Amino acid sequence: MKTGFLQMIGVVLFSAVRMARFDIVLPPADVAPPPVILLGLGVGALVALGAVVLVIAVVAFFVIRAIKKNNAAKKNS
């Protein structure tokens, strides 16, 4: 099922209300997560950003090839 933006906002609001009503306790904010998790997040962010750059680079290469083909077609016509 597709989730619309408003539905998502609704879920977030509903969860917030539930947490307030049932006193769901969040982990204390001043306790740092284990170093392994931090390292994983850091490496993960780097890999994700690298993947974004890679995808754009691959697409750019295909655009260059398309421009070349277009030029070749213009020359032949």
Task: Kindly list the residues in this chain that would bind another protein in the complex (CB under 8 A).
Answer: 42, 45-46, 49-50, 52-53, 56-57, 59-61, 63-65, 67-68, 71-72, 74-75
Tell me the three state secondary structure of residue 41: helix
N- to C-terminal Cα separation, the chain: 49
Which one, 1 or 57, has the nearer CB to another protein?
A: 57
| Shortest Å, Cβ 7 to another protein | 22
| Shortest Å, Cβ 66 to another protein | 11
